[in-house]
Amino acid sequence: MKFYVLTLFPEMIEQGLGASILGRAQERGAIAVRTVNIRDFSENKHGHVDDYPYGGGAGMVMQPGPVYRACEAVEAEIGHKARVLYMTPQGRVFDQKLAGELAQEEELIFLCGHYEGIDERVLEQKVTDSVSLGDYVLTGGELPAMVMIDCISRLIPGVLSNEQSAEVESFYDNLLEYPQYTRPEEFMGLRVPEVLLSGHHANIEKWRREQSIRRTLERRPDLLTGARLSEKEEEFLQKLREIT
């Protein structure tokens, strides 16, 4: 997967994605992150890329020309149509399902706005998907782009060392993850659940599924409608509901 990020702050993206798991994934070539500085496409002698909003109002608006040219340059490099994702609180709310869909693409172009936003005309021309991280307002699209790239990357083969771990976690199957424990066996008088020390894999698996169901009911009951449960697990959930 190749991620292109159109931004006025390429160093934010490079630093944010250059360390840890995604840094190593880039070194191995499992993913590539290419930043494109929108300012490089300014035709203004001062390198300005923003101006006052027509009609008045607070803040500055990013001009359409530099964004359009930056996008064209990336599209020319890719050589075929690619999805252009605009980070905005007005977009479809990002979730694991959308991450899975986007992970199927060969390339993705992220467009990060700043100030009061980007001139609507270039958005109409270039953006295929408007995506929001949630119902709150951030100062720019860089953090949302990094969050999305992180989430999509972990679904790409070769990014996580243990391929399984992308599946067993929260939201796989619409269930939250079960609790984890490591050494010591006792911490401040609290013991690790005995079943985890038993070495009995079937019992451990059953306990973990039940913990996932219990947690999801307690913390995110809205997710349960989309969860796939066995008949036994449905019965377990029913019992939990009766006692709570």
What is the C-alpha to C-alpha distance for residues 51 and 54, in angstroms, rounded to an integer?
9
132 interacts with ligand ADE by CB under 6 A: yes
33 interacts with ligand ADE by CB under 6 A: no
Q: Do the Cβ atoms of 112 and 145 come closer than 8 Å?
A: yes
Any residues with CB less than 8 A from the CB of 65 and at least 6 apart, and which?
41, 42, 43, 122
90 interacts with ligand ADE by CB under 6 A: no
144 interacts with ligand ADE by CB under 6 A: yes
87 interacts with ligand ADE by CB under 6 A: yes
141 interacts with ligand ADE by CB under 6 A: yes
Judged by CB under 6 A, the residue of 133, 152, 175, 176 near ligand ADE is 133
How long a stretch of residues is the chain? 244
Q: How many Cβ atoms from other residues are within 10 Å of residue 201's Cβ?
A: 8
The CA dihedral of 143, 98, 88, 150, to the nearest 10 degrees, is: 10
The site map against ligand ADE for 92-131 (x = CB under 6 A) is: ----------------------------------------
221 interacts with ligand ADE by CB under 6 A: no
In a 3-state reduction of DSSP, which class is residue 174?
A: helix
Q: Smaller CB distance to ligand ADE: residue 90 or 182?
A: 90
What is the C-alpha to C-alpha distance for residues 13 and 16, in angstroms, rounded to an integer?
5
What is the C-alpha to C-alpha distance for residues 156 and 159, in angstroms, rounded to an integer?
6
138 interacts with ligand ADE by CB under 6 A: yes
| Single-letter residue type at 60 | M
174 interacts with ligand ADE by CB under 6 A: no
Judged by CB under 6 A, the residue of 18, 53, 89, 100 near ligand ADE is 89
- Site residues, ligand ADE (CB under 6 A): 87-89, 132-134, 136-138, 141, 144
